[in-house]
Amino acid sequence: MTSRREIIKALAGAALLPGALPLARAQGPAHEPLKDIAARKGMRFGTAISHGRNQFGDPAYRALVERECNLIVLENEMKWQALEPAPGKLEFGPADEVIAWARGKGIAVRGHNLFWQAEKWLPAWVGRQNFGPQPAKAVEQLMRTHVSTVCGHFGKAIKSWDVVNEAVDPADGKLRQNALTRPLGALAQIDLAFRLAREHAPQAQLVYNDYMRGDAGSARHRAGVLTLLAELKKRGTPVHALGLQSHIGSWDLSDSGSDKGRADLAEWRKFLDEVTGMGYDLLITELDVNDRRLPADIAKRDAGVAAATRDYLDVTLSYPRLRDILVWGLADNISWLQTWYEAPRQDKLPMRPTPFDGELKAKPMRQAIADAIKAAPPRQG
């Protein structure tokens, strides 16, 4: 039997329907787009999108992104290992295609990311590189070439860059080491990354992006990020904002309103106070909710995910320095969490971590985001 979604997809693909119609059907009752709700508060709403078959390649999913978002980030296609899988072998095609589409729709694009500090996410060839007798110089040259090539290619299309991603080891709060940090020193390497980004992407907001949370298990991570931000400030490193990845739920999900929930949010507020107190802006870069701690029952699970979202956003959006909210995928079926084996559901049921289900129908999490934005203080200017 042909499902409703397949029919809608076929019609949309054949351009038989105006852009809004497939969406209105796929979603059920009409909702005011999240981007419009956000815009009234001087904010933007967006999502990560990959070039893959079930995201950018799916007309219905693409239409949903267009309807809800005025900001996107490429989920994988602008990572160094994707752009340069072998030295000098540059692959800009998939990212360019998505960016051209976004530009045509008036959707802004964030860049993710120039340097991902976990060694396993650097291109493998970088780790194998022999940096010769003057390794610090060679690393600096490699970093310069990378930043100038990538920022030169994308140019003004990118107004916000995750310059450095996940530099702090959550286990001990220390800076991670990798092939680039060892010759230069981790702090100096991070400092250089931001200076190069300022030189080659002078138009862009420069962001340090990480996944610290409010719960006790993340205390060292938070402390390490605060230390890093303080050091960078002391050095005059051009960092404009902290990207709050906001992958919540994995370790920190507790019943909304519980003592633990309240304590975690109080710690989170303290953390954000310190970050903004140092003069940094904030943005939510990768919001989703791992539901492994919630019951199998879908209604209860969706309600729990929505409550966690609302609690988290109420605190986080109370900071007017935060203007952009991005989720890490709009629909459950395409979420990275479906295949993340570090924190799976014990019952092996598919996760429900995003605002829309696999049929692109709005879930309570979407309502929670809308309500939290409506309740947030308006941003000035």
* Residue 250 interacts with ligand G3I (CB under 6 A): yes or no: no
Tell me whether residue 154 or residue 376 sits nearer to ligand G3I (CB atom).
154
Is residue 206 a contact partner of residue 161, using CB atoms and an 8 Å limit?
A: yes
Amino acid in position 25: R
Is residue 10 a contact partner of residue 58, using CB atoms and an 8 Å limit?
A: no
Q: Which of 68, 75, 84, 311 binds ligand G3I (CB under 6 A)?
A: 75
| Window 284 to 313, contacts with ligand G3I (CB under 6 A) | 286
Euclidean distance between CA atoms 312 and 269, whole angstroms: 10
- The window from 61-69, 72-80, 229-237, 252-260 that contacts ligand G3I (CB under 6 A) reads 72-80
Among candidates 111, 43, 39, which has minimal Cα distance to 72?
111
Q: Strand, helix or coil at 149?
A: helix
Q: Strand, helix or coil at 71?
A: strand
- First and final C-alpha spacing in the chain: 52
Task: Annotate 291-338 with DSSP letters as a single string.
Answer: -TTS-S-HHHHHHHHHHHHHHHHHHHTT-TTEEEEEES-SBGGG-GGG
Q: Which of 33, 41, 76, 343 binds ligand G3I (CB under 6 A)?
A: 76
| Window 100 to 119, contacts with ligand G3I (CB under 6 A) | none
Residue nearest to ligand G3I (CB): 336
Is residue 351 a contact partner of residue 292, using CB atoms and an 8 Å limit?
A: yes
Euclidean distance between CA atoms 56 and 306, whole angstroms: 26
Q: Which of 36, 187, 336, 350 binds ligand G3I (CB under 6 A)?
A: 336
Nearest-approach distance from CB 327 to ligand G3I, in angstroms: 12
Tell me whether residue 117 or residue 205 sits nearer to ligand G3I (CB atom).
117
| Window 216 to 245, contacts with ligand G3I (CB under 6 A) | 245
Nearest-approach distance from CB 131 to ligand G3I, in angstroms: 24
Site string for ligand G3I, 256-285 (x = CB under 6 A): ------------------------------
Nearest-approach distance from CB 124 to ligand G3I, in angstroms: 12
Tell me whether residue 243 or residue 320 sits nearer to ligand G3I (CB atom).
243
Among candidates 332, 338, 328, which has minimal Cα distance to 357?
332
List residues near ligand G3I by CB under 6 A.
75-76, 79, 121, 165, 245, 286, 336
